[in-house]
Structure formats: structure tokens, C-alpha cells
Amino acid sequence: MKQGRSTLLWTALILILLGGMHTAWRHFVHQVPLLPGSQQTYWDLEARVEMEAEGSPVKVRLAIPQSQPGFLMRSEHTASPGFGVSFVEGDQRFAEWSIRSATATQWLYYRAQFQFDPKRHIPAVDHAPDLKPSTWSQPLQAAAAQVLRRSWQESADSFSLAKALAERISNEKNQNGRLLLSEMSASEAMVNLLNDAKVPARVLYGLKLEDGRRRQALQQLVQVFDGQNWQLFDVNSAASLDVTGNNYLLWQQQAGPILEVEGAHESKVTFSMLTTHEPASSSVNALAVKDALLSLSIHSLPISEQALFKTLLLLPLGALVVVVLRVFIGLKTSGTFMPLLIALAFLEMSLSAGLITFLILVSAGLVLRQLLAYLNLLLVARVAAVIVCVIGMIALFAVISFHTGITTGMKVTLFPMIILAWTIERMSILWEEEGPLEVVKQGGGSLITATLAFLLMDIYEVRYWMFNFLGLQLVVLALILIVGSYTGYRLLELWRFNPLANQNKG
């Protein structure tokens, strides 16, 4: 027994030393800062082209970004096995891939890193786009004229006119705006109206920057010109965008198609993004290309997978919280690691919204489960029925949230549906066998555990450390091994047996 405990302690010590050495290596050799303080902000953007090749020559042309106000391009590269690739420079840059023959599903990757630089000035306009005469259909002619006339009266220049037009087009109560949107997109309608007012404008595509987002689509933006100046507008939100702000990046500089494919069908392009904070003198992702040892790390993966790991690497911390609460405190939970999955859903929602949503779903599920009990179903069929009911409740909750304007409620789909169904089944059986008090204990213990795990995983510095210093995973593993070797009394047991101890003393 003593030998086994000694082996465990030595194993934990070795894991802590290895984790500490790797963390020190990352900090001193690769210059990754220990704290996400006043460092340069970098955005890693990845475009993934997916298509079904037909066995013939394939040509792919993708519009790609360049340095622009607020963002300085630091590096770019592609991953396209078997394809030849070239870059076409000009007012609008393109990446072109080609191959003599390809079959089945093909993936092409374009990756660029931008440094956020709010001091980069907005370049002067060499020449604004040409005005294009609008060809409104007969039903739209009167509506367009009325929208433009009212907006013109409420504006003083080209930019204020664009803002007034965006407000009317995006207003669902404006009948003229809804009529225009029945035949074209909001951005196209705004450009046509501005051209009618002799204001140069064009539709461009931009990427809304949100850390850790995967498989996102580009958004239509309207670029409006006023003499030597220009400004971006998001028509759907009726707001002008700060072109030097750390929230939007123009993917194209000239109007035109984003993706053109020959020799394949069902082509599409999606975008992933990730932000890092690093010293101005170094870049982890640039080192990942040069350093063979570092290339084996998470940073050498495609950005869509990096964004996924940014959340997955927090799971060991949540597991440590579960182990501590169950081993030291003796807290009961409904399922061993169910609270950890609930905490992951809380990370995408707010804590209060997540708790309320969880309580509503479980309470409604318990009621439905009691109704199913009268049908005398077998276990598998009963759990399957609960799963269907849970999915239906989640869909209903999302629809109600959308129509009531509660955007957080639409993220209810992030809850693990199968785990929720099994939780409802376990609680229902526990209610029948042990009574409602035991259900409250285990349900409350699950929520306490999920909340504490969420509070730890939601700390910004903790998320930064767990993603950038993988050696800390070994340290967490060592702590789990040490906590797991504890065989003494739990805190709740001491509290439960305290009256008995006092009686023996008396």
C-alpha cells in the first residue's frame, strides 16, 4: 500500500516537473508571455474551400484580403495537397489553385495572420466606383423613390444619407423597405438607392471578428464614398462601422465574386478565426512554421480545429473541480461528469441564463417523464422518448427566445441533449426510489459543481494559460492523481457524524 502511494506521488511529481519545464520553454524560448497583458493583438484567419471534384481539371479562384486600416498583414500561406497555387496581386488579390485531375471531396485552405493596428490611417480614395443606373421594377419604383426622398430630407451629407437609408431598409415596420427586400438583399437595395442619389457606393464582403468562431460566413457591407473619404455600413444593424476597430476586417477591396470554381460542384467557403496576444517581437504561429518541435503543437493545426481545442483544453480543469468536490467535500451530483458538460454550455451562454434554462428544461422533462411512466415502456424506449421530448422542448425554447428578442436563449441548443435526457431519467427514478429530497440534493450538487467549474474556466487568464501552455495539462493531471488518492473522511461526512461524536463525548 505504501509502495503504491509512493509510486503515485513520484508519478505526480514527474508530471508537474514536465509540465513546468514545458511552460518555461514556451515562455523563455518562444517568448510567449505569462500574462495576457499589454501585448500585440493578432488575428489568425482561415478560409476553407470545400468542393466535390468530378475527375476533370479543377481551377479555383478565391478573393483574399490584404493590409487595410486597422490591420497589418504579417504572414499568409496555403495548404492544398496536390494543387498548384499562385497569388494574383492588384487592387483585389486572389489565390488561384489548379490541378490536372481530382475526384471526390477536396479541401483547400488559405490562412493569414493580421496584426491589429488602430493607428493605420485610412487611405485616400484614388477613384470612387462608377455610378450604376438602377433598374427598378414597376412595383419597386415608387417605394424606392419614397424611401430616398424621406431619407434625403433627414440627411446632410453622403454618410448621413447612407445611415438614414440603412435605418429605413432594416426597419421591419417600413412597408417600402420590406417591399425592396422582397426582390434583393438589403445591401444591394442600399447601393441602388445611393446611386440614384449620385452617391458612389458598392457592396463588399467583410468578416466579423469573434475569437474562437468556426465555419462562419462573410457578411455583406456597403462602402460609401464622399469625396476623398469612405465609410463602411452594416445595413442590417443600420450602423456605421469603425474601419480601424478590432471587430470587422474587409475580405475584399473591390466588388466581385468571392469564390469561383471550375471542374467541381457543390463548392463553398467557410471562415474560422482565432485571436492571440503576443509580444511585438515574436509570433507563436510564425514559429510554428519554422520550429519542427513547435509544429507538433496545437498552434500548427488549422484555425477551425484550434478554436475547438481552445474550449476542449479547459475540460481537465472542470474535471479537477468535479474530483475535488466529490472526494474532499462529498458533494453528490446527478452523474459523475454531467456538471462538466453543463458548465461547457454555460461558457457559451451567461451563467444566469444557463441556470434558468437548465432548471426549466429539467423541470419540464421530469413532468413529461412522469406522464410517460403511465405507459409502462421499457427502459430503452422510455429514454428514447425522453430524448425526443427534450429536443422538442429545446426547439420550442429557441423559437420563443427568438421571437421575444432574447438572443441568449437561442443558444439553448448548446446543452448536451442526450446527457439531459439521461439526467431526467435518473432523477425520475431517484424520485421514485429515494424521494424528492434526494433529487434536490443531487440536482443542487450538480448545479453547484457546474457553476464552480464555469467560474474557473471562464477566467480570462486561465483560458489563456491552458491554451498557450499545454504543459499545464500535465500539472492538472498530477493534481487529479493526488486528489484521487485521498481516502479520509469527506467534509459532509464529518458534518453528518458530528452529532454522534458529541454524543460519545457526553
Give yes or no for a contact between 433 and 439, defined as CB atoms under 8 angstroms apart: no
In 10 A of CB 222, how many CB atoms? 25
DSSP state of 252: -
> What pLDDT shows up at residue 295?
44
Q: Where are the alpha helices (DSSP H) in 237-293?
A: 284-290
- Say whether both 206 and 185 belong to one domain: no
Structural domain includes residue 8: no
Give yes or no for a contact between 52 and 102, defined as CB atoms under 8 angstroms apart: no
* Domain of 194, in residue numbers: 133-199
| Cross-strand bridge partners of residue 231 | 224
Structural domain includes residue 33: no
Structural domain includes residue 61: yes
Sheet holding 229-234, edge to edge: 239-241, 229-234, 219-226, 201-208, 248-250
CA 15 vs CA 22, 91, 196, 480, 483: distances in Å: 11, 53, 69, 11, 14
Higher local confidence (pLDDT), 482 or 287: 482
Give yes or no for a contact between 249 and 206, defined as CB atoms under 8 angstroms apart: yes
- Say whether both 159 and 270 belong to one domain: no
Residue 378's Cα: distance from chain center in Å? 39
- Say whether both 105 and 183 belong to one domain: no
pLDDT band at 487, cuts 50/70/90?
confident
Mean pLDDT value across residues 450-460: 92
Which H or E element spans position 454? Answer: helix 436-457
Structural domain includes residue 288: no
Give yes or no for a contact between 366 and 431, defined as CB atoms under 8 angstroms apart: yes
> What pLDDT shows up at residue 45?
92
Give the Cα separation of 173 and 178 in Å (integer).
8
- Say whether both 248 and 371 belong to one domain: no
Give the Cα separation of 297 and 467 in Å (integer).
10
Give yes or no for a contact between 343 and 314, defined as CB atoms under 8 angstroms apart: no
The pLDDT of residue 491 is above 60: yes
The pLDDT of residue 334 is above 50: yes
Higher local confidence (pLDDT), 112 or 404: 112
Structural domain includes residue 215: yes
| Cell numbers found for residue 220 | 455583406
Sheet holding 58-64, edge to edge: 84-88, 93-99, 58-64, 259-262
- Say whether both 139 and 257 belong to one domain: no
Q: What angle (nearest 5°) sits at the alpha carbon of residue 253, between those of residues 249 and 258?
A: 85
pLDDT band at 83, cuts 50/70/90?
very high
Mean pLDDT value across residues 312-323: 91
> What pLDDT shows up at residue 409?
57
CA 186 vs CA 166, 195, 255: distances in Å: 8, 14, 16
As a whole number, the mean pLDDT across the chain is: 81
CATH of the domain at 210: 2.60.40.2250
Q: Shortest CA distance to 190 belongs to which of 249, 240, 261?
A: 240
- Say whether both 124 and 137 belong to one domain: no
Question: Which of residues 164, 199, 234 is at a domain's end?
Answer: 199
- Say whether both 173 and 112 belong to one domain: no
Structural domain includes residue 286: no
The pLDDT of residue 214 is above 70: yes
Q: Per residue in 489-501, is it b (16+ CB within 10 Å) or e — as a string?
A: ebeeeeeeeeeee
Give yes or no for a contact between 314 and 322, defined as CB atoms under 8 angstroms apart: no
- Say whether both 228 and 318 belong to one domain: no
| Cross-strand bridge partners of residue 234 | 239
**pLDDT tens, residue by residue, 93-130:** 999 999 998 888 899 999 999 988 777 666 655 577 77
- Say whether both 162 and 264 belong to one domain: no
- Say whether both 207 and 336 belong to one domain: no
Number of domains in the chain: 3
Question: Which of residues 199, 218, 246 is at a domain's end?
Answer: 199
Structural domain includes residue 16: no
Mean pLDDT value across residues 350-360: 82
- Say whether both 325 and 410 belong to one domain: yes
- Say whether both 450 and 492 belong to one domain: yes
DSSP state of 399: H
Question: Which of residues 278, 301, 330 is at a domain's end?
Answer: 278
Mean pLDDT value across residues 398-417: 67
Structural domain includes residue 124: yes
